[in-house]
Amino acid sequence: MTTIFTDIDGTFIDGNYKCPADPKILDWAFCRYHIVFVSSRTAEEIMDLQNKMRVNCDFIAENGGTIGTYNEATALLFSNYERKEKYFMMPLAKKSDEFMHIIRNILQDSDIDRNIIINGIAPKTLALMSHYSIEDAERSLKRNYSILLNTSELDSDSKTMLINKLNAYNLTVSFGGKWLCVLDGSDKGKAVNFYLSKNHSDGKVIGIGNSDNDLDLLNAVDMKFVIRNRDGYADSLLNLDNAVYLNEIGSKGWEEMIYFIQKRGIL
């Protein structure tokens, strides 16, 4: 069976957090393909999305920080896991509190306000910043492996300096949606490769994404699909080998991908 690793925001759902694909196409896809969500979102956010859509599929949360599966046989292949609702959670990165001091020290040395750290702020504050509901903000803050930084008020030089210092500590730094996301020990591509090492499939391995932080994901798969944003394709996703550049804008491209692989008989 073919496995599809799909980004969520801007790829599977739109700016209103809705999936615009035809429900019949979605049902067909989820029945015939092994779909795995890959996102900077937390496990709680992804589980909530799946509950609303009434689907069960494995996922990679926090930009590769953890894997969630509802298949106990898969979980038993990992050295450690914990239960979370109907899912088994397997960590791939360090806990965020283990490297939070590095982030704080870098900010202090760079004369950058520590208040740019999103982790730990009040749900109401995050809701105002992100236009989330309070409930969605609470789910977004249940972050265990990644640290989010709001760099929107930093000038380009300060932002570049900050990223360079984070990279100097071998931290994974990516921009996903609204915030800068920092991990220690994993990224989307590493998580995809690890997942595949535990879930071997004879089918094709497909990836689809729309932003710079999907590059590692797309480089880890056989067949790449690149979503076109309103201002074009993300710069880092241009000129990828074995990539299909979709014509539809945003999450409408997800449905276009399904039609593409349908026509080629990829199952």
Cite the DSSP H helix spans in 118-251.
123-130, 134-140, 156-168, 188-198, 215-219
- Beta-bridged to residue 60, according to DSSP, are 38, 67
Average pLDDT, the chain: 93
Phi-psi region of 139 (alpha: psi -120 to 50; beta: other; left: phi over 0): alpha
What pLDDT is stored for residue 267 in this prediction? 76
Residue 75 has a pLDDT of 77
Question: How far is it, in rounded angstroms, from Cα 32 to Cα 128?
Answer: 39
Contact at 8 Å (CB) between 67 and 90? yes
Task: Sketch the domain layout of the chain as residue ranges.
Answer: 3-92+187-263, 96-183
Does position 228 have pLDDT exceeding 80, yes or no?
A: yes
pLDDT digits (tens, 9 = 90+) for 151-205: 999 999 999 999 999 999 999 999 866 799 999 999 999 999 999 988 877 789 9
Two structure tokens written together for 193: 């490769």
Q: Closest by alpha carbon to 20, among 251, 257, 258?
A: 251
Tell me: the pLDDT tens digits for 114-148? Answer: 999 999 999 999 999 988 899 999 999 999 999 99
Residue 70: pLDDT band with limits 50, 70, 90? confident
Q: Give 43-61 pLDDT, tens digit per residue.
A: 999 999 999 988 889 999 9
Q: In terms of DSSP bridges, do strands 3-6 and 59-61 run parallel, antiparallel, or are they unpaired?
A: unpaired
Q: Which range is least confidently modeled, 98-102, 144-148, 174-178, 208-212? A: 174-178
Pick the CATH number of 3-92+187-263 from 3.40.50.1970, 3.40.50.1000, 3.10.310.70, 3.90.1170.50: 3.40.50.1000
Q: Which residue(s) pair with 209 in the sheet? A: 226
Residue type for 40, please?
A: S
Q: What local confidence, expressed as pLDDT, does residue 38 receive? A: 98
Q: What is the pLDDT of residue 40?
A: 94
Which residues, in sequence order, are CB contacts of 161 under 8 Å at separation 6+?
110
Q: How far is CA 75 from the centre of its chain?
A: 20
pLDDT at residue 176, rounded to an integer = 65
Q: Are 82 and 75 in contact (CB under 8 A)?
A: no
Residue 101: pLDDT over 90: yes
Token code pair at residue 252: 């409408």
User: Class of 96-183 per CATH?
Assistant: alpha beta
Using DSSP's 3-state secondary structure scheme, residue 255 falls into: helix
pTM: 0.95
Amino acid at 135: E
Q: Are 63 and 183 in contact (CB under 8 A)?
A: yes
pLDDT score of 177: 63
